[in-house]
Structure 1
Amino acid sequence: MIPDDALVLHPHKIATEAWLKSIVIAHNFCPFAKQTLTRNSIRFSTIDDSAIDTCLQLLMDECERLDTDETIETTLLIYSAAFAGFDDYLDFLNYAETLLIQQGYEGVYQLASFHPDYCFEGAEPDDPANYTNRSPYPMLHLLRESSIEKALASFPNPQNIPKKNVALARKLGLAKMRELLAACY
């Protein structure tokens, strides 16, 4: 793993930040992302290991980091060498969610999932709506539950965010969504 505070510019972090700015923020898929990025309170952590046990340990390490560092609002764990297959990623996501519960983090942190081949259950792979959760690399987004609750409390009709995102992605169309994601690399 290359620490995100190293002086080396990691290509996976660069692509992920481009995705965050040009897709997530530019198309308002997450109405809270811009403020968090502007405040510089997103931690980008690239994990170059592919062993599931190591990746799970690094997730727990990140929870502990968030426990002690209030300046980090949220972390994007970017898996540069693991979980290329979407089914493998879903298995890992299940392990990660189970581990959060086992380690007492249920209600403290929440995971959001992103993958280059993300496909919602029951959706066709070429449905543009899948691009609301497609990212340059397999990724877990570790969020503070308290921050989510606070943000949602001041946002009108937060339950409509996913519907709005799906509608926008479908309006933009498959070709445009593919183009936007490809431009991040």
Structure 2
Amino acid sequence: MNQAQIIQETREWLEKAVIGLNLCPFAKSVYVKNQVRIVVSQARHLDAFLEELDRELLLLAEADPAEIDTTLLIHPTLWPDFETFNDCLDLADQALADHALEGILQIASFHPHFQFADTEPDDITNYTNRSPYPTLHLLREESIARAVEAFPDAAMIYERNMETLTKLGLAGWLALGLSDPAKK
């Protein structure tokens, strides 16, 4: 699978699911302004990926937000299963601390097999965090704070997303032209 295809599938997911279903009401403005950096890692092992994460965190922290407001760091093959990916999130959070970026940046995660605690693997609500490939979303705290100010019920986004996907169902998800990430 080549980088262009991975980026294209990620963009389709952003446009049809994240923005199209309004799963993140803050995503559209940075996406249409082309302030979303999408990076596909080719790291062959975890250490190399963590070095790449370090570089991307520092690049984002130093970049002008008008140029790069957020970064999606994708690795298409390193974490085929969600459990292993989820276990590595502590290392990603440690990278924030190592670079003194806590409170400046944060990391959100997406995975084709994402599963909330206490849900079944095929529960449609898991699709709120299912992406075509394992992805770390590097976000600026300052941008999140501004977005939350503009969106009065930000705390309700999570619940609203679950309701949206419950109403939509898997058939509705597939009808959007999105593939089932869990079938990859």
2:47 is aligned to 53
* Cα offset, 1:103, TM superposition: 2.3
Q: Contact 2:3/2:40 (CA < 8 Å) preserved in 1?
A: no
Is 1:164 matched up with 2:160?
Answer: yes
5 Å matches for 1:63-102?
A: 63-70=57-64, 71-102=67-98
Instruction: Give TM-score, length-normalised by structure 2.
Output: 0.91
1:121 is aligned to 117
Q: How many residues were matched structurally?
A: 178
* Cα offset, 1:173, TM superposition: 1.1
Cα RMSD (Å): 1.8
Alpha-carbon distance in 2 for matches of 1:87, 1:50: 19
What SS class does the counterpart of residue 10 from structure 1 fall into?
helix
Is 1:17 matched up with 2:17?
Answer: no
Alignment CA distance shift 1:125-1:64 (3 Å) = same
Alignment CA distance shift 1:113-1:162 (3 Å) = same
Q: Which runs of 4+ in 1 moved over 6 A?
A: none
* Cα offset, 1:63, TM superposition: 1.3
In percent, how many aligned pairs have the same letter?
40
Amino acid at match of 1:145: E
Q: Contact 1:49/1:81 (CA < 8 Å) preserved in 2?
A: no
Q: Which runs of 5+ in 2 are unaligned?
A: none
112-121 vs 169-178, which deviates more?
A: 169-178
Instruction: Give TM-score, length-normalised by structure 1.
Output: 0.90
